[in-house]
Amino acid sequence: MDDKTTIRAFIAMPLCKAALDDIVQVQGRVKHKINELRFVEPRNIHLTLHFFGQVRPDVAMDVMERAGQRISGLSPFTVRIQGIGAFPGPGRARVLWLGIDRGSVEIRSVAGIIAEAVDAAGLQRDHRPFRPHLTIARAKKKPVDIRGADLDFVISPCTMDRVVLFQSRLTPRGPIYTVLKENRFGRI
């Protein structure tokens, strides 16, 4: 791959297995109540910090290198996933997501480190306020109404301890994510 070739890539924080197992249960309950949704494969659920879109691999790696020292100075932290929401809203949901009840301050801090590295690399980024969430489903065709669906749930707490650069290859069966680089939190 030469330096002019681009890949589809993003930076995210992966979840622990216990939380993913619980999210599968939530997805099953949602499927039972709302069938007009396409669900994200559990192995692909993550907390996105920055979506590059198409980017040269060396540029994406540069962002990870720039963020690496600060990331390695962080301590792992626990998140609690709670609450279900929708973009643009519950009456016309195109995307269903789970919210972060505990750990959102820490996640925002990590996202800020990544944003600074993106800026330092001279890349464009989204300047809307960062809203930590986990996408679990998307509307198949038209928006759906999730109001009144009674979607209470409990997700196991999850320790966040790394930031990962993923390549995303789109296929007819869904995206395939490949880890390109991982920056672990250093303080324990």
Angle between helices 57-72 and 104-120 (to 10 degrees): 130
Nearest residue to 42 (alpha-carbon basis) of 150, 164, 135, 142: 135
Is residue 188 domain-resident? Answer: no
Is residue 72 domain-resident? Answer: yes
Q: Mean pLDDT across the chain, nearest whole number?
A: 93
pTM over 0.75: yes
Q: How confident is the model at residue 1 (pLDDT cuts 50, 70, 90)?
A: very low
Q: How many domains does the chain have?
A: 1
Q: Which residues span the domain enclosing 19? A: 7-183
Q: What is the pLDDT of residues 99-122, one digit of tens each?
A: 998 999 999 999 999 999 999 999
The CATH number that applies at residue 111 is 3.90.1140.10
Nearest residue to 96 (alpha-carbon basis) of 46, 161, 27: 27
Is residue 137 domain-resident? Answer: yes
Q: Which amino acid is at 25?
A: Q
Is residue 2 domain-resident? Answer: no
CA distance from start to end of the chain: 37
